[in-house]
Amino acid sequence: MKKLHLLIVFLITSMMAFAGEGMWIPMLLQYNEKEMQEMGMRITADDIYSINHSSLKDAIVLFGGGCTGEIVSDYGLLLTNHHCGYDWIQKHSSVEHDYLTDGFWAMDRSQELPCPGLSVTILREMRDVTKQVLQHVTDEMSEEKRQATIDQSIKEIVAEMEKSTKYKVSIKPFFLGNEYYLLLNEVFTDVRLVGCPPSNIGKFGGDTDNWVWPRHTGDFSVFRVYADKDGHPANYSVDNVPYKPAKHLDISLKGAEEGDFAFVFGYPARTNEYLPAVAVDQEANVIDPIAVRLRGEILDIYNKYQEQDKKVRIQYASKHAGLGNGWKKWMGVTEGINHFHGVEKKRYYEEAFEKWCYVTFQRSFYFNLLQQFEEKYKELEPYRVAYTYLSNAGLNIEIIDFAGNFNKLSQVTADTPQEDVDKMIASLRKATQAFFKDYYQPIDEEVARTMLSEYLENQPADFRPSFLNEIKDVDAYVEQLFKKSIFASEEQVNDFLDHFKPNKLKKLQKDPALQAYQSMIGFYREEVNPKMGPINKEIDRLQRLYMKGQMQMEPEKRFSPDANFTLRVTYGKVEGFKPQDGKNYRHFTTLDGIMEKENPDIYDYVVEPRLKELYNNKDYGRYADKDGTMHVAFTASVHTTGGNSGSPILNADGQLLGLNFDRCWEGTMSDLIYDSAICRNISVDIRYVLFIMDKFAGARHLVDEMTIVE
């Protein structure tokens, strides 16, 4: 009886989308407009997305390949997170110019630093092309034939569109392949670093505070987009000028009050809200715990050496951040899914789905669908585990991963054109320089010993790369690996490249690091991928059917497609939360909390002297809240995920309140299961951003570029 009651309750709640839940397509936002305005929004869907006039979408950019940014001036000034700009800050850093530690501010445009390889992408238009893409698809087609037919249609549509546009054209699937949308994007490739706070502000709290509320992190950095004199995208040139956008964001100094409507506009990367229970269980309780354990051991090694040497701390800062981000998130996913009974809730829903299926034979497409999921995920699991060890243990041994760059060179023959060989050599010289700039062999040796031991202990002999089965003593193997491999020394690698001849290939081919890489990749290509590929294709087919079935079962429900790195709007309320009995968090933090956390003996909690001075004098300028304090960060019930880092969080008038940079620990499960009671996004208050620029860094000229609403 209790189970039936829970089923009824769950069905009722599932039939009604939580207010604001979902990753909404901006071109279809008119269907959400009424709800958004009832929640407090004072602008229209057309103000957010329009192709007929400038709108907020024209100020939102895909920053690089994995974050969001927003343009905040008529001169292409762009804000994103500190952790989004981290790689570029690190690339410009050295012991002599340690921008990670000390921060960087260009006091005029001549001091702005070029970032080769960095681009920003602006969406110009979306179009629904589902009918055209699926016009030749039939239910009788095999999965391979279906995909080939879709690929051909997409190729033809893109080719035709490219004849009449200057924009980059692409087509992406939505609703797991049930719908398709065409995207017209403009890509700018001259992007320059303008400013960033010191890490003790931009990364305050470090990994300890990552994914945790309350937060006190000034997670922002400043860039500028440049274009040619006609405003078109162009590669870096001293003749380029600041890009003049069709729209830039206005900035509000009013702050975020409890209960205020707010929305995030950005590029969420990947969610999987419509997975079956068996998939969620496997992710949270099998795969993620393995990755967490392996990465945790590597991070412990990084920490030990980074604490001992400033140069090593800089070299491994970006690597540490990359590993640590996933490590802590996956811990939260497992805890959240289990604490809030996510798998059980999915199973309740599936019981209702099965009952719906068997009401009529017309729904025979869906008969036994869930049983097929169970079978396929069971079949998939050992291969996913194998891949998790390969990617998190094997290829996190840097010398082995770096050696992989030389795999193609090891396969040249006397017939390979010299021009091709010369190109390979030139590319490898650049890769070698970049690798050894941020490499510390003692770290790699300890990581190698630890990860190879984990591999041997936890993966069966017949289901791991073959070179592992030849290891009798891990310590002895690692000693010989670094002693005999040319990839342990920049001088040896450069000497090899300087004197490379095809008749010297044996030296390369016998290198133990390259042999280990080839064994790993060979294992993946021969044993893992050939088995995972067909299983995943079948799961994709089942998932597409399941998505279609869910939409048919709940025709009154507004479904939002899973995130796929396309521009989306998400919305909710500024509010705190109660993650556990006895815990009740308010929605904001202040500079007071930074001073309370200060610990000069822990790098992540060092407070900058200038910041302390401003605090002691209460010298906040016009950026203080009406309560007189300096607000730092705030939370809201807005659905976000990776890729939303750097996204603007906007108020009811579409004005900038802050920059989204994280989620609360208890809500990291939101990629799989969203719960509006507990899932919170975390944003740095724009007033703290401006305060740091103006009062801390003395970069008032940047604030003066912006449109400020008092």
Residue 394 near residue 527, CB atoms below 8 Å: no
Q: How far apart are the first and last CA of the chain?
A: 57
Whole-angstrom distance, CA of residue 80 vs CA of residue 657: 13
Residue of 55, 82, 83, 153 marked active site: 83
User: What three-state secondary structure class fits 122?
Assistant: strand
Residue 78 near residue 222, CB atoms below 8 Å: yes
Whole-angstrom distance, CA of residue 523 vs CA of residue 518: 8
Active site residue 230: no
Residue of 219, 288, 562, 625 marked active site: 219
- Phi-psi bin for 673: left (phi > 0), alpha (psi -120 to 50), beta? beta
Residue of 645, 647, 670, 683 marked active site: 645
Whole-angstrom distance, CA of residue 695 vs CA of residue 700: 8
- Which residues, in sequence order, are CB contacts of 471 under 8 Å at separation 6+? 452, 456, 477
Whole-angstrom distance, CA of residue 393 vs CA of residue 383: 15
* DSSP code per residue over 82-94: TTTSHHHHHHT--
* DSSP code per residue over 165-228: -SSEEEEEEEGGGTEEEEEEEEEE-EEEEEEE--HHHHTTTHHHHTT-SS------EEEEEEE-
Residue 189 near residue 203, CB atoms below 8 Å: no
- Which residues, in sequence order, are CB contacts of 572 under 8 Å at separation 6+? 19, 20, 39, 261, 262, 263, 636, 637, 638, 639, 676
For residue 497, the surrounding DSSP H or E stretch is helix 490-498
Residue whose structure tokens are 């006895």: 582
Alpha carbon separation from 244 to 224, 236, 284 (Å, rounded): 11, 16, 45
Rounded to the nearest angstrom, the gap between the alpha carbon of residue 614 and the centroid of all alpha carbons in its chain is: 34
Whole-angstrom distance, CA of residue 643 vs CA of residue 271: 11
Strand partners, 70: 60, 79
Q: What tokens were used for 657?
A: 């309140």
Alpha carbon separation from 281 to 289, 377, 672 (Å, rounded): 12, 10, 10
Residue 494: burial class (beta carbons within 10 Å; 0-12, 13-18, 19+): middle
Active site residue 466: no
Residue whose structure tokens are 């999915």: 346
Alpha carbon separation from 319 to 313, 397, 403, 441 (Å, rounded): 10, 12, 18, 14
Q: What tokens were used for 115?
A: 């970032």
Q: Would you call the peptide bond into 242 cis, given omega within 30 degrees of 0 as the criterion?
A: no
For residue 241, the surrounding DSSP H or E stretch is strand 241-242
- Which residues, in sequence order, are CB contacts of 192 under 8 Å at separation 6+? 112, 113, 114, 115, 223, 224, 226
Residue 485: burial class (beta carbons within 10 Å; 0-12, 13-18, 19+): buried
Active site residue 645: yes
Active site residues: 83, 219, 645
